[in-house]
Structure 1
Amino acid sequence: MSKILQVEHLVQEFDLTQDLLDRVRFKDGRFTMERPVVHAVNDVSFDVETGEVFSLVGESGCGKSTTARTVIRLHEPRSGRILFEGRDITHIPQKDLRAFRRQIQMIFQDPYASLNPRQKILEILTEPILFHGLALGRAAAEEKAVYLLERVGLSAEQAKRYPHQFSGGQRQRIGIARALAVEPKFIIADEPVSALDVSIQAQILNILMDLKDEFRFSYLFIAHDLSVVKHISDSLGVMYLGTIVERASKRALFSNPVHPYTKALFSAAPTIDENNINQSQELKGEIPSPIHLPSGCLFHDRCPMAEPECASAVPALREVEQGHFVACHLVKEGNAEYKRDERSAQV
């Protein structure tokens, strides 16, 4: 299977002060220059296979959405490489972005804010079709728009309404239809169900999976809910403070989480299984500021297993079994912490 997306050592930072005078600080009796920077994404690497659903999961603020927006070039990356179908798109000029963005579309977390409130749904859907020349005239574009609306569970009559006349779940269906309108090969779904009721979440997830099978595209799926990513993912990356600490197939990650942070995420997830293999692990302290990152392992201040080495050396993301990568000094192949329990829950 070929790789449709390759992200290599991606870094994204945001300056908090743009003015020179804002950077001047009086400290210890003298003036100094400071450059406060938010380290949003720190050396992130992952691949997405053609036809695969790759999910990024982690706490709010860990850099999942910033990673996605940098991949689609809504933010210019500070360093690293982004390859789409083997082509380096990291720094392609603005004039070439039009063709690229037709291939990669995004479904946003807030379905209302992402829709133009002054346009009817039919206009919202036909505009990108006509812009990219994907229909011979407006009539053909409207016919395609109505088909997409019906495909996501809405009717042709509803195409004449405005976004405010729909519920949250219906707006998200419209967002999905709009993403499909330009026939993309890759879709980034940024928390597409987090703002919806649980009953509606399942419907939207089922639509996303049915459309993937029908239109044969790939997903980068962003979520913080483990039950959601378990339902939709083929493989996952667990993010903490802008870096991926564990990456594996769905089966490997859910049956044998290895990194202490991944174990804590599973421990915090609600369950009714009294025999759940993931025992409670309470994390100490608060999430560090992305402006002043900790030295060494970014998780060492909160890790219940941390050793002196963790505070001084950055752990490399290394393979501990085929396709299972972990960034932790304490985890080595054959280590007791890593041995797989063959009786673990089936995925």
Structure 2
Amino acid sequence: MASLFDPLQVGALRLPNRIVMAPLTRNRAPDAIPTPLMAEYYAQRASAGLLVSEGTAVSHQGQGYADVPGLYGTEQLDGWKRVTDAVHARGGRIYCQLWHVGRVSHVELQPEHQQPVAPSPITAKTKTWLVKDGAGGFVPTSEPRALDASELPGIVQDFRHAARHAVTSAGFDGVEVHGANGYLFDQFLKTGTNQRRDDYGGSIPNRARLLLETMRAIVEEIGADRVGLRISPVTPANDIVDADPQPLFEYVVRQLAPLQLAYLHVIEGSTGGPREVEGRPFEYEALRKAWRAAGAKGAWMVNNAYDRPLADQALAEGADLVAFGRLYIANPDLVERLRQGAPLNVPDRKTFYGGGAQGYTDYPAL
């Protein structure tokens, strides 16, 4: 039986273990530029089999929160290069999570204070993070406008360009596309947010079209062995819902299979919450079987509320990688703590979003 501490080939990378640091938004990149403190933070966690960066906007339009990093300007790329160099100096491997938030944004964060964009003009009943007068806080999202079909090829190109810059300029080992948690691709996929009547709305193939076009473009640009995708079939995060997610996501994975991605990253249940979502049943094993039956060879990564026993069980049942999120906030040496069964540091929730070293780089290692 596979162990969390066994090596695994994942696309172009040989991982020394099967523990992944999941993407974690921390709001410590003023002007969307990664800082030296961020380089220290990621380097501290380089013993993970793979680090996946916090969500990183592929364009100014794609930004949804204050002080999150970007990947569309020279200073941003230079900042990320310092981060990846620090991780590689510690022997680590790091992917960049490519992000467009869609409607989960605010006019204050958008170019020229324009409306956020979405598949349909439906405001998200959720909040985003703004910084005013040096203080951060959560505020309701702004009303979005519907994207015109003529704008969608530009979004695909934004992701293509960001993927290329991530690996050629910023030094990342690959990229993960954020298709989860109620952000742009999830908004197109799901019926609660997509009420379009063109080729990008209505049927399952139409709603999946933008995501699949984007994944094909990125694979063409940097190679499938450096590309992953994150999905969340039933999470209610950011006011997202679909009327029938099982056939939707089984269609998506069957269409993705021929691309031979490095991995598929699946959030089980409610992101950061219960693993079973009331009123939203989903068969993850059926999804994995559909992925494999369609010929996919990439790693199957599971995520949400995992501890050591649950991770061991997941590997025994067919998962290849286990992603840990909040445990990595307070435990930079999580790999060794899990290996030894050592006590875990408790994260300080007050420092999750924004701030400096406190609650970020000051958690002790063993």
**TM-score bucket of the superposed structures, by smaller chain:** 0.3 to 0.5
TM normalised by structure 1 equals: 0.35
Which structure's residues are more often strand, by fraction?
1
